[in-house]
Structure 1
Amino acid sequence: MTDLTPSSSLPRTVVPGGIVDPVASARAELKAALAAIEIKGNVPRRLEQASQRGIRRTRAFAQRNPIGAAAAVAGVAAVVGGVVWVIARAVSR
């Protein structure tokens, strides 16, 4: 998902073409570079977007295949339970 400016359909990280003035061109390049750095460097925002995508995909899968979703939940629960059991057993020895 790219961030779009309200005035155009170009992403914020693209330098618009047709700029003749070298100062305006440099400003546009700097603005695009800073926007790209902000997008790449904003890890909490990227994690939020990735988790929202994962939630949407999981819900869509559960609606398409409820038995498969139940099996996946049971499998994950079994794996987590097994890991907890192994850790508890190792700690108790």
Structure 2
Amino acid sequence: MSSDSPVPVSRATVAVPRTAVPIGITDPVEQARAELKAALAAIEEKANVPKRVALATDRGVVKARAFSRKNPGAATAAVVAGAAAVGLIVWAAVRLYAR
């Protein structure tokens, strides 16, 4: 197997992302396996919507906390405006339904 072959000392080990193919693979079968592994990892990253939503939510929370620390008055006003907008939307939906 090609994994049993010794690794040259001159080649530095560099962390390769899961969605990338390492450089320097000379065996065509090993190259194909590495490309397939990278393609499947990329598809998994792209298709894993819950994970992507969780990461986006975490980024949004970090940004909102930083904004509220810098400008607490504007953050309070934004929360009040958001609550008023939600209340207005609910009121309009109930009014349309009740007609």
- TM-score normalized with structure 2 length: 0.82
Which runs of no fewer than 5 residues in structure 2 stay unpaired?
1-12
CA–CA distance in structure 1, aligned partners of residues 97 and 47 of structure 2: 39
2:84 aligned partner: 78
Partner of 1:51: 57
Matches within 5 A, 1:13-52: 13-52=19-58
Give the 3-state SS of the residue equivalent to 2:25 in structure 1. Answer: coil
How far off its partner does 1:40 sit? 0.5
Structure 1 segments, 4+ long, off by >4 Å, are none
- Secondary structure at 2:62 match in 1: helix
In the alignment, the residues of structure 1 paired with residue 14 and residue 53 of structure 2 have an alpha-carbon distance, to the nearest angstrom, of 27
Greater alpha carbon shift after TM alignment, 67-76 vs 82-91: 82-91
- For the aligned residue pairs, the C-alpha RMSD in angstroms reads 1.2
Residue 9 of structure 1, CA deviation: 2.3
State the AA in 1 paired with 2:42.
A
Gap regions ≥5 residues in structure 1:
1-6
Residues in 1 aligned to 2:41 and 2:55: alpha-carbon distance in whole angstroms: 17
By how many angstroms is 1:34 displaced? 0.6
Query: CA-to-partner distance for each residue in 1:16-63, whole Å, 9 max, x for gaps?
Result: 111101011001000100100110011111111111111111111111
Q: CA deviation at 1:8?
A: 4.0
Look up the match of 1:90: 96
Aligned partner of 2:3 in structure 1 is none
How many percent identity over aligned positions?
Answer: 55
**What is the distance in 2 between the residues matched to 1:31 and 1:90?**
53
> Aligned partners of 1:88 and 1:20: how far apart in 2?
67
